[in-house]
Structure 1
Amino acid sequence: MIDFFQTIGGAILTPLYYAISAVLIGWHKLWGAIFGPASGIAWILSIIGLTLVIRAALIPLFVKQIKSSRNMQLIQPKVKELQKKYGHDRERLAQETMSLYRESGTNPFASCVPILLQMPVFLSLFRLIDQAAKDPTVERGLMTETLNRQFGDAVFLGAKISDTFLSTDLWSVRVLALVLVAAMTVTTFTTQRQLMSKNMPADALSGPYAQQQKLLLYVLPVVFAVGGIAFPVGVLFYWTTSNLWTMGQQFYVIRNNPAPGTPAFKAKQDRDAEKARRKGEPLPQETVPDVVVEEEPKPQARQQPKKQTRSQRKKTGGSGGAGTPKKKPDPGDPPSS
């Protein structure tokens, strides 16, 4: 059984070894020509370059993630209505909620997709570094024995790229590893917190979607903090750089294209209004308050009946038409025959 899973894992990871090593070697040729092929800074910058290439390739998925996240926020009032209507029947509630997701083109797990797609890359880089340090004669992807030795023995800030917090007794290595683990944890937490505090309307802060976001907010940093002490320094640089990219990318989107009804949207309205005020331009359309107080309609004046002469009233009273009110006798009128 173990051999079966190893075979499956090898079949999945082998193409990734070639793709990742190709990008890594491409960057290493650039930085190695500047700092030396065996220098730690050349390999660290190559890992950072690999991270940037991977994250740039994931931009289309990030766009889909943003759209799905925005749809989740917009349909929260409908989700709450379903919860009130089918709260007593969990199975029916789940069916109706999933139907609503399909109709609105929303994927509640879209926020996890970039992280999940990076995990095979993360694992492949981990194996390349680990193998280069333990047995450089084993070539994976395009990494030759020479490159493996340079990669596994490269030193940056007193620590080998292949060292982990648990694999060494050197305090310089442990301090660097802890700094990177802390940076990885803080950037993960800040990214999720930024999304929840600035780009989620009040209606979206409760319900299943909010629970999912809160789970990611607290669980992911803990997972990375606990697992980070077993990651090589090179892998920690990869993940920290990836988190910084995510944080900057999300900050740009929230600032320039926030979801309606969120604090970030209000802040953008204020910035646009201030910019228009400085330029002497009319205020943007979106700065008009959402609630407009309408004036109560004035009651129409009652139309007074036209004043009639005595002879006109006499004729009217004597017409005997259907529905015509009878004229009240006037003391000054002659008696009728």
Structure 2
Amino acid sequence: MTPLYYAISAILVGWHKVWGGVFGPDAGAAWVLSIICLTLVIRILLIPLFVKQIKSSRNMQLIQPKVKELQKKYGHDREKLAQETMALYKETGTNPFASCLPIILQMPIFLALFRLIDQAVKNPADPKGLMTVTLNQQFRDATFLGAKISDTFLKTDQTGVRILAAFLVLAMTATTFLTQRQLMSKNMPPDALSGPYAQQQKLLLYVLPVVFAVGGIAFPVGVLFYWTTSNLWTMGQQFYVIRNNPAPGTPAFTAKQERDKAKAARKGVKPDPAAPAADTAAEEAERAEQERRAAQRQQPKRQTRSQRKKT
């Protein structure tokens, strides 16, 4: 974690110099804004992973009909089903675990920030990374809206801290739920709303908010600001992608077509009757290409009647 301590503290201290010059180095607003800016820097750096996550999630949605066909064909043979499913993932460039990458990579950063705040509270004389004894003391004593940003909901008897922490926990939980709900209701085709992938998404829809709500009451207020800001960024980023580049066959795709038609009508451009057909043709071509690739995969060898009996 030492390299992370240096990286996180460098960004945090850099922004604190900026906001400390505006509000004063001891001000809680300076530290809260520094944490928010730290979050934005981290999320900007993670944009390439987010793009990869979106592409993988879209591929997972589009190949669900093929996955169902494989389940019907090889449902009696788990090993063969796993082999064929992995081959399908490889051919379509799909990684079923890509949707977890941004969360997984954020966890060490989250823990590093947690440890920086914890160290500032418990042992300010032993700073981590680029934090100094003076910065630790300022961090420990900084207050925002009447609450110390180093306090937690559980380890305080101050009403102001509990109100602010509870608000941030609720905001963190709500944004997590709404982000996942947005994905399922707007950018998943009907075929993807059933099967293992859909079950995974439904599990995340209800489990993640509960995990954050339960764990959030033990996080310092400063860490809650980090995670809530990160969730708001994710929700806004996902909304932009779904609105402007939705997956084919989804409610968001239909809504975008309607917006494009209305925009063309306002500009006086006559709608091209071949445009919907072209979209359909493109989708059909993509499905045909996937079927062709699937057909090229090695099929099980035919066996004679005597061989099947021996098997």
TM-score after normalising by structure 1: 0.81
CA–CA distance in 1 between the matches of 2:177 and 2:205?
A: 6
The alignment covers a number of residue pairs equal to 280
Matches within 5 A, 1:70-219: 70-219=58-207
**Partner of 1:5 in structure 2?**
none
Q: What is residue 53 of structure 1 aligned with on the other side?
A: 41
- Structure 1 position 290, deviation (Å): 7.2
Q: Spell out, residue by residue over 1:51-95, the C-alpha distance to the aligned partner (whole angstroms, 9 max, x if none).
A: 000000000000001111111111111101001001122222122
Q: Give the secondary structure class of the aligned counterpart of 1:264.
A: helix
Give 5+ residue unaligned stretches, structure 2: 282-311
Deviation at 1:206, TM superposition (A): 1.0
- Corresponding residue number in structure 2 for 1:295: none
Q: Which residue identity is paired with 1:24? A: L
| CA shift digits 1:127-171 (9 cap, x unpaired) | 000110111001100000000000111001111111000000111
- SS of the residue corresponding to residue 15 of structure 2 reads helix
Q: Which amino acid aligns with 1:222?
A: V
- Matched with 2:290 is none
Instruction: Look up the match of 1:256.
Output: 244
Greater displacement, 144-153 / 282-291: 282-291
Contact 1:273 1:287 in 2 (8 A): no
Query: What SS does structure 1 have at the residue aligned with 2:152?
Result: coil
CA distance in structure 2 between the aligned counterparts of 1:154 and 1:94, rounded to whole angstroms:
54
Query: Displacement of 1:287 after TM fit?
Result: 3.8
RMSD: 1.4
Confirm or deny: 8 A CA contact 1:269 1:286 kept in the other structure: no
Residue 289 of structure 1 and its aligned partner are, at CA, apart by 9.0
Worse overlay, 46-55 or 152-161: 152-161
**Selected match of 1:283 from 252, 271, 275:** 271
Match of 1:230 in 2: 218
Q: Which residue of 2 aligns with 1:328?
A: none
Q: Which amino acid aligns with 2:239?
A: F
The structure that has the greater radius of gyration is: 1
CA–CA separation in structure 1 for the residues paired with 2:160 and 2:280: 60
Question: More helix by proportion, 1 or 2?
Answer: 2
1:25–1:291 distance in 2 versus 1, CA, 3 Å: closer
Q: How far has the Cα of 1:212 moved from its partner?
A: 1.3
CA contact (8 A) 1:27 1:46 kept: yes
Opposite residue 112 of structure 1, the aligned amino acid is C
**Greater RCO structure (CA 8 Å; 6+ sep):** 2
In structure 2, what is the Cα distance between the partners aligned to 1:283 and 1:81?
A: 37
Q: Secondary structure at the match of 1:167?
A: coil
In the alignment, is the contact (CA less than 8 A) between 1:28 and 1:37 conserved in 2? Answer: yes
Which amino acid counterpart does residue 34 of structure 1 have in structure 2? V
TM-score by length of structure 2 reads: 0.88
1:287-325 CA deviation, whole Å, 9 max, x = no partner?
Answer: 459789xxxxxxxxxxxxxxxxxxxxxxxxxxxxxxxxx
Identity %: 79
Q: Is the 8 A contact 1:270 1:287 kept in 2?
A: no
Q: Mind listing any 5+ residue stretches in structure 1 that lack a counterpart?
A: 1-12, 293-337
C-alpha separation in 1, matches of 2:271 and 2:241: 23
Moved more, 95-104 or 262-271: 95-104
Match of 2:302 in 1: none
Q: What is the distance in 2 between the residues matched to 1:66 and 1:265? A: 15
1:317 equivalent in structure 2:
none
